[in-house]
Structure 1
């Protein structure tokens, strides 16, 4: 195990240089010295995830899980599952990642990702709950307001969506989300104006 740790450290130096292939080779040598070191499997998983090799990353993360329960593991598994389009597995891991957090302040991005995943599945009520959970912790979390607007639009709750879209513009006026929000607000307001004469003719 001691020799494995020395080799592991030399691999970490290659990771810092982003020389993924060299780091991978070094970590594989370290594993030969200690095949039960979960942290090595975890670090290899992160390297393969960084390289976009998600099936290989998943294999190493799952191997890591046998020996090592690291707080960052569920979040990285969720990223891999999302990249592979395995949304049900991603949802399970995102929930686990939230439960692994020691401080509430680190939870909003995870709730937001959970909300976005539900939103893609058109599970609007579950998405709404996830975004609201993020906003309970950080009321000014722009991405959660943006996601919440999406859930309201999906449910045809136009007035609620407008409130959230305007909040995005207020909180982050120069962001890409604000640009989309402004466009959406403009289209909604235009649609409402066009609908008025038809209503008045009744």
Structure 2
């Protein structure tokens, strides 16, 4: 006959003691989680305070060191907040520290892949240090993001990158895309200079005339028009645009050159 085994008093004590230990462990665990969560919330609030401090310091050049201290502290306290990395990155960018700016702006887009403005600024940063492939990547990624501002400006920068790589057709297409979004005398000037360098003088003249039609007070376009008309031996129109260059920006290098050209035109008549 099989004997039934009943728990003894000692075994019941062990069982109760084990349950008590388990409950105590869970209590400690939940307490630790609550403490970590509270600490996290405290850090988030402190980071916001440091960020607000940094904004206040940013209005004065004399307070720039304090601004950096506050921004770095905000990033340390809340490293998952993309806006703090963005602000620190743009501060570095403004001061010409491109390496640290790139680190912070790249962290911004890692934390928020739809942070459109960060892509744009990364494109500008890599364009400035001559890494045109990376610049193109970030400009193009930025154009895909919702809420991107001034897309025509990005297309202009893309065109300049292509132009720097010798990809003239791609540059032309990017400038034309920028102009489809919005007419701009600056974009037209860039396009005209590219046409001029490629020997497409009629296209260059057309673009420059459109630029001064949009903004009659745009000295660079007047100066480039004057040079092209001079090249075509149209002395009257060349003189007119040299005069405009001088009137609009009398102390510029272009104005000084314009005065010399006007003397030559006067002698040729």
Q: TM class, shorter-chain normalised?
A: 0.7 to 0.9
Q: Do the aligned partners of residues 157 and 57 (structure 1) sit closer, same or farther apart at CA in structure 2, a change above 3 Å counting? A: same
Distance in 1 (alpha carbons) for counterparts of 2:230 and 2:133: 35
Q: Deviations over 1:62-115 (max 9, x none)?
A: 2333435542311221232233333322222222223333xx6xx222222222
The answer on whether the counterparts of 1:149 and 1:162 sit within 8 Å (CA) in structure 2 is: yes
For 1:137 and 1:36, the matched residues in 2 are separated by 34
CA apart distance, 1:6: 4.3
For 2:124, which of 24, 46, 49 is the aligned residue?
46
Normalised by the size of structure 2, how large is the TM-score?
A: 0.60
Aligned to 1:95: 176
Between 79-88 and 30-39, the greater mean CA deviation after superposition: 30-39
Matched, 1:28 2:106: yes
Which deviates more from structure 2 when the two are superposed, residues 145-154 or residues 162-171?
A: 162-171
Does structure 1 residue 76 correspond to structure 2 residue 163? no
1:125 matched to 2:202? The reply is: yes
Which residue, 127, 131, 140 being the options, matches 1:62? 140
Q: Secondary structure at the residue paired with 2:251?
A: coil
Query: Compared with structure 1, are the counterparts of its residues 48 and 129 closer, same or farther at alpha carbon in structure 2 (3 Å cutoff)?
Result: same
SS of equivalent to 1:118: helix
Unaligned runs of 5+ in 1: 194-202
Q: TM-score, normalised by structure 1?
A: 0.77
Compute the RMSD of aligned alpha carbons: 2.5
Task: Give 1:177 shift.
Answer: 0.8
2:108/2:115 contact within 8 Å kept: no
Counterparts of 2:258 and 2:108, CA distance in 1: 50
| CA displacement at 1:176 relative to structure 2 | 0.9
Residue 141 of structure 1 aligns with which residue? Answer: 218
Unaligned runs of 5+ in 2: 1-79
The residue that corresponds to 1:166 in the other structure is 243
Q: 1:31 to 1:121 in 2, by over 3 A?
A: same
Q: Which residue of 2 aligns with 1:197?
A: none
Quickly say closer, same or farther: Cα 1:32–1:175, change in 2 above 3 A: closer
Greater relative CO (CA pairs within 8 A, separation 6+): 1
Rg: which structure is higher? 2
Aligned partner of residue 142 in structure 2, secondary structure: helix
Which residue does 2:91 correspond to in 1? Answer: 13
